[in-house]
Every structure is written in structure tokens, then in C-alpha cells.
Amino acid sequence: MSTGAITPAADTILSPPAAAMHHPASRAGRSVHDLLAPLVKQVAESEVLRADSLGCWRSGEDLLFLPRFFFQRRTVHKPRIKVGIFAGIHGDEPGSVLGLIQLARALECYPEMGRNYQLWLYPLCNPSGYIDGTRESRSGKDLNRQFWKNSSELEVQLLEKEISKQRFNGIISLHCDDTSYGVYGFGGGALNGLLLKQGLAAAERALPRNTAAQIDGFTASYGIIESRYDGILSAPADQRPAPFEIVLETPHHAPMRQQGHAFLFGLHAILAEYRQLECTTKT
């Protein structure tokens, strides 16, 4: 494939594990193994993907871990764009987890879509919340309000350490909003706004855009919010150069398959746009 084009007909990419397709309201006791096993098996045979973990720990009878997947199209040594993509920081948003799994599967089938990139994928940033079907982690904390605040939450500490170490050129977070009828995102500043504009336009192939003037309590302009919550997953404030940072949201109550399409199309467009900008800057 020369273009790496992704279409809604790509059923082998966009079909999530059957056990993960059920709607979030009934899922206490979801299995992380059932969710990730097909992808881990695929990675074991892949030439472009690797998998490991940021760490593991016990919570009651559950052995929890933070999975990490790494994509690089070729092994040749050269400068690459490093982007971290994070999902599942809220455990009751399985659409975000599945969206990132779809990206990993698409990268295996169409490596060209990741050309010039190192992509670090973190599909399950709140494993206990995913298992329990809750927004918060098992400690009762909303992990996406804990970053860079000396948090005692192990998941936050592991992610902060990883983000500081990797010094990403870009950070993308995936979320699902149960109060929204369409896709939207957070992306303040010229670069973030430009990338998000492209991502939302592509995501609209799968789901409508939320065009309300107020979304999630923030002023919005055609699905783009320039403000953001305090303590969300992000780069440290002193990182220079600062990375681009985008939050992409799908409507939580939309069919899971359509959420997967929207995330995949949006991510593909964001990565393609940023690669083009980088190539233009360096020529």
C-alpha cells in the first residue's frame, strides 16, 4: 500500500474483540486479557510493532499493568517524530481503548501511515477502572485530574515518568463523552487547532461533529475547545520545545464500531497533517 489509506470497508482492522463490544453499562469484571490477547498475538508476529509494560502491581486479586505498544516502520536509524497516544485513562470509556487498538492493528496492515514516526501507544491507562467499569481508578481518584500534582496514584506516577523520559513531539489523548452527540476535541493554540481541525474533519466520516457553542462546560467553536481541565495527562510544563497536545473525544453512546472508525480516521489525519508540516518546515 503506497498511501496507507483507511476506509470503512477495512473490516479486518476495525472489528474489535467480541468480548469488548458490549456497551459500558454492564461491565464490571471485564477482562484485560480478553481485550488485549488478540493484539498481543498479532504483535508477536509483527515486524513493525512491539509490546511491553510500564509496570505491574496487585490490587486485591487482580494483577494490573500498564501496557505499551511501540510502532516503527523500519529499523534504519534516522530522526523520527515521537508521538505518544493515550487511551483508557477513564475506565468507563472502552471506546477510547478500542480506538487505539484499531490504530495498532491498522499500522500493522498499513505501515506507511506511520511513516517518519515512532508511535508509542498506551491503550489502558486505568486498568482497574476498565475492569470495574468505573471512570475513576480503584482508589476512587479521577486519574485525569492528577497529573503533575505530586500524585500518589501509581498509574499517574508511571505515566509521568514515561512522558518525561520520552519527551514526545506530540501527545494525543482519546476520550468518550457521555453528554455529547458528536465528535469534538481540546486543542488550544494555532498548531493544536490546525491538527485537531484535520482530525475532526476525518472523524466526521464516521460520526457527526458536535457543533454546539458550549461543550462539556467550555466555549467551543465548531467542535474545538481551546481551554482544558487542570491536571489532565500532558507533557510537563517545562518541556522545551513543547509538544503539540490534542484531546479527541467521541460520543460515548454511539455504536462502538463507529467510535473505532472515528478515532482511527481522526488519528490518521492528525498524523498525516503533522508529518506534512514537519516535512515542509525542514525543506
173: which 3 cell numbers?
489523548
Contact 246, 83 (CB under 8 A): no
Q: Residue 160 burial by CB count (10 A; 0-12/13-18/19+): exposed, middle or buried?
A: buried
Would you state the pLDDT for residue 281?
Answer: 73
193: which 3 cell numbers?
487547532
pLDDT digits (tens, 9 = 90+) for 122-133: 999 999 999 999
Cα 50 to Cα 7, 30, 65, 91, 160, distances in angstroms:
25, 24, 16, 24, 21
Distance, CA of 70 to CA of 85 (rounded, Å): 10
The answer to whether the pTM exceeds 0.75 is: yes
Terminal-to-terminal C-alpha distance of the chain: 25
Would you state the pLDDT for residue 6?
Answer: 43
Residue 24 has pLDDT above 80, yes or no: no
Place of cell 506534512: 276
pLDDT class of 283 with cuts at 50, 70, 90? low
Which of 3-17, 127-141, 153-167 is predicted with the least confidence, judged by mean pLDDT?
Answer: 3-17
Would you state the pLDDT for residue 15?
Answer: 40
Residue 17 has pLDDT above 50, yes or no: no
Q: Which residues on adjacent β-strands are paired with residue 283?
A: none
185: which 3 cell numbers?
476535541
Place of cell 523500519: 74
Per DSSP, 252 falls in state T
The pLDDT of 240-254, averaged and rounded, is: 97
Peptide bond into 243 cis (omega under 30): no
Instruction: Supply the mean pLDDT for the chain.
Output: 90
Would you state the pLDDT for residue 28?
Answer: 55
Would you state the pLDDT for residue 276?
Answer: 95
Distance, CA of 225 to CA of 156 (rounded, Å): 24
Contact 67, 124 (CB under 8 A): yes
Residue 139 main-chain phi, psi, to 5 deg: -75, -10
pLDDT class of 61 with cuts at 50, 70, 90? confident
Q: Which residues on adjacent β-strands are paired with residue 70?
A: 50, 120
pLDDT digits (tens, 9 = 90+) for 90-129: 999 999 999 999 999 999 999 999 999 999 999 999 999 9
pLDDT digits (tens, 9 = 90+) for 201-211: 999 999 999 99
Would you state the pLDDT for residue 18?
Answer: 36
The proportion of the chain whose per-residue pLDDT surpasses 90, expressed as a percent, equals 83
Contact 145, 230 (CB under 8 A): yes
Per DSSP, 209 falls in state B
Side chain identity at residue 140, one-letter code: G
**CA angle (138, 144, 148) in 5-degree steps:** 110
Residue 177 has pLDDT above 70, yes or no: yes
